[in-house]
Structure 1
């Protein structure tokens, strides 16, 4: 474990040694971007540093409705609800469907935000498909992540297309997609909606693609309104108003940063000798690997990547190279050179 005293940007200095940083989930590099920070600071001055009240309070602030309308229009959903985090957004949906009327299925690599306790997460899509087809007694709900870091879901969702989606409620965590994938960063909602599931709910963090601490849920207006009437929603602290206002104000910054990220990803793939060494989703800036020596080798050569057990110490080692918009051309070319000199990644 490495501890630093400030947010890690494209580079980190540790004990006097400089490293390039290709990890984390700040895909657009916004957290250290001065223009984005200025917008955020201006909105903090207007809306305060937090919102210490329920969304059900008799005094309500308009930015919540404005941000939710903006987000639903961007994504292509009828409606939207925001929460203080993507995890809490997932837990609200999980809580809503936690009753005997539903049979819950969890696709391989589903994030823990979408379940509680020791839920059975399938190891293979083949077994999941068999069980869904053989069990039609209850209303079926399928939970999965849009970006599973193995390239199995986004962008084609081939496994979903084998299922009777007209009978299935889909709940998708799009935390690693929204803001950087889809038209104008709208993520996967429209793509998934075209598959015509019985019902579609998409949950997400807004911290990864949009650089603000908040979460959101997208879906039909009637079910979003039902979620708003729950104790879970009424008793939860909401997203910070300044964060939601910044999300609206930073549209041009987001567009510019997405373009940079696309160029950085294309540059990496163009100069990589063996792209098939990594697991990746088309168009996504993350590249996962299983070779435990790779992270050590990169660190010895001045490169730090994501490399830790997640979400608990008992889970598998999560190792991946993550590109973001703040990386410079020289950073990416240096990374590729180091990788290409490692005997095509045999280490």
Structure 2
């Protein structure tokens, strides 16, 4: 069931005059309603204005973008970064870049719609993907480099953290394009996401793109990779013709680094507390150090709602897709919130 509300859903939300605990969404660090974070954003809003609609190639350029991109590169562990107005735009830039006669596109299971340029269906298993990539390499024209798109965190536990299925591919001959929207800011060294761990797998080339709205709580997207690739992307009409992320958001990202660290610590404590006391872990798919706990039991959603707990549950990314249901912890949740959730879950029978 869908609900329409009049404010951002933090740890609680109001439905028809009644208060519910909210364990959904993607505000993992709980910053959207954090007063300290909001004050940083307001200060940057006063400095940079509400929006900047000019091209990044304009003769007047605000230096906050370059500063943020250098900082992101250091956090992620890449040679260069680019910021854009959204994670979806970042994904579309990458899919458009490789949608030509020199590359052959392959989509791993559960790949996000942001990475699609045309109606290519993803492979349902990594085994099928592996076979297809190897067949292509054995018969291809030398110019057709295989490009494999995938989500780092697809909530099935298939990819992050070990990427075991991905490692069955001939990665040294593959350009790897990875959406890390649900990992950046949350997992990895200092919230740097999956770039460093994937680089160790030694693909032919690694490019990671993401939304900055989930882990970092700002409207924007980013792309990470080697300097040559990112320099080329910066020169495209796609990048130059689009408005950038708002400078106020980018400035807030720079100034909120200490706060991000504090919130990551709180989130880790909440995840550890939940897992320590959760009796029936087999009911859920979950990943190390990530706050999302996916399940397929529709009755569980209804049961929790009856007990004044709302979780994420809707078909994604469209009405024809499979129902996506998950419990999501955030750094904003208090121990008593999680305690109440655990009390409701632990009385259920084991699978």
TM-score (norm 1): 0.98
Shift of 1:333: 1.0
Q: Deviations over 1:154-197 (max 9, x none)?
A: 11111121121110000000000000000110000011011111
Q: Is residue 69–residue 82 contact of structure 2 (8 Å, CA) maintained in 1?
A: yes
CA distance in 2, matches of 1:309, 1:162: 30
Q: Deviations over 1:55-104 (max 9, x none)?
A: 11111110010010110111000000000000000000111111011111
Residue 34 of structure 1 corresponds to 35
Residue 24 of structure 2 corresponds to 23
Residue 79 of structure 1 corresponds to 80
Q: Is residue 144–residue 173 contact of structure 1 (8 Å, CA) maintained in 2?
A: yes
Residue 117 of structure 2 corresponds to 116
Q: Structure 2: which 5+ residue stretches go unaligned?
A: none
Q: Structure 1: which 5+ residue stretches go unaligned?
A: none
Aligned match for 2:168, one of 162, 170, 174: 162
Residue 341 of structure 1 corresponds to 347
Q: Deviations over 1:110-168 (max 9, x none)?
A: 00000134211111111111111121112111000000101110111111211211100
CA distance in 2, matches of 1:2, 1:9: 15
CA distance in 1, matches of 2:117, 2:104: 14
More displaced, 313-322 or 113-122? 113-122
Residue 51 of structure 1 corresponds to 52
CA distance in 2, matches of 1:118, 1:337: 44
TM-score (norm 2): 0.97
The DSSP-based 3-state class of the residue aligned with 2:32 is helix
Q: CA RMSD, aligned part only?
A: 0.8
Aligned match for 2:205, one of 199, 205, 208: 199
Runs of 4+ in 1 over 2 A off after TM superposition: none
Residue 284 of structure 2 corresponds to 278
Residue 219 of structure 1 corresponds to 225
Q: Is residue 152–residue 281 contact of structure 1 (8 Å, CA) maintained in 2?
A: no
The DSSP-based 3-state class of the residue aligned with 1:260 is helix
- Residue 141 in structure 1 maps to residue 147 in structure 2: yes
Residue 253 of structure 2 corresponds to 247
Q: Deviations over 1:261-288 (max 9, x none)?
A: 0010011111111111101122211011
Residue 7 of structure 1 corresponds to 8
